[in-house]
Amino acid sequence: GTFTAAENFFLGREIALGRGPALLRWIRRKSMGDIAMRGLEELHIEIPGVRSKPVDRMSGGQRQLVAIARGAFWGHKLLLLDEPTAALGVRESREVLDLIKRLGAQGLTIVMVTHNLDHLWQVCNRVVVMRRGRKVADLASSGTNMEDVVAYITGARQPATAQAEA
C-alpha cells in the first residue's frame, strides 16, 4: 500500500509496542499521526485530509512540503533540495518557497539546486554557480543580480574574474 504523511514521516523510525523483530511488533499509528500533525502545524503546513490521505494522492506541492518537513522534523542541520519547485504551479511553488524561508530563518542550512533564477533571490543568501563541474562563482545574493549570474552560467564571465565574497 501507500503511506500517509505521518507514516512517511516515520519511515524506518516507526513507534512500536513491544520488543523483538519489527515485523512482530504493533505500530503505534495514532501516536505517529499525532506527532506528525504537530510537526506540520509547527511549520504552518496545511494539507486538507493530511492525517489519512495517502501521499500518492497528494499534489506535487503537497508531496514536496511533506518531504521537506520530514527532513526538518528529524532535526537535521542540512537539507539538500534538488529542484524543489520543478513542475509545480505558482501557488504550490510559493508554499514550498515560504517553507524554505521559514526553515532557513530557524537556522537550518539549506542547499537548493535550481534553474529557476526568480526563485533563487526569494530564498537564498548565497549564489554558487557551477559550470561544467566547476564552481565559477560564489556570491552573496544581495551583492549580485540576474545578469551577472546568467553571465557565469553561460560562460560570458569567467571564474578568473569572479570575485568570491566571504
Q: Which residue has the higher pLDDT, 18 or 76?
A: 76
Q: Which fold has domain 5-124?
A: Rossmann fold (3.40.50)
81: its cell numbers = 533540495
Mean pLDDT score of the chain, rounded to an integer?
Answer: 82
Grid look-up 542540512 returns: 78
- Average pLDDT estimate for 142-163: 84
Helix then strand then coil, % of the chain, to nearest 5? 45, 15, 35
Say what the pLDDT of residue 142 is: 92
Asked if residue 156 has pLDDT above 70, the reply is yes
Q: Residues with Cβ < 8 Å from 28, sequence gap 6 or more?
A: 14, 15, 16, 17
Say what the pLDDT of residue 46 is: 82
In whole angstroms, give the CA distance from residue 75 to residue 9: 12
Q: Which residue has the higher pLDDT, 22 or 140?
A: 140
Asked if residue 125 has pLDDT above 70, the reply is yes
Say what the pLDDT of residue 162 is: 44
Residue 44 CB: number of other CB atoms within 10 A?
Answer: 10
Residue range 3-49, pLDDT digits in tens: 877 777 776 666 566 665 555 455 566 777 777 788 788 888 888 77
Sign of CA dihedral 142, 144, 150, 154: negative
Percent of the chain with pLDDT over 90: 40
Residue 1, classed as helix, strand or coil, is: coil
Say what the pLDDT of residue 163 is: 52
Q: Residues with Cβ < 8 Å from 95, sequence gap 6 or more?
A: 61, 65
Say what the pLDDT of residue 72 is: 84
Ranges of H-type helices in the chain: 5-9, 29-42, 60-73, 90-105, 117-123, 146-154
Residue range 78-107, pLDDT digits in tens: 999 999 999 899 999 999 999 999 999 988
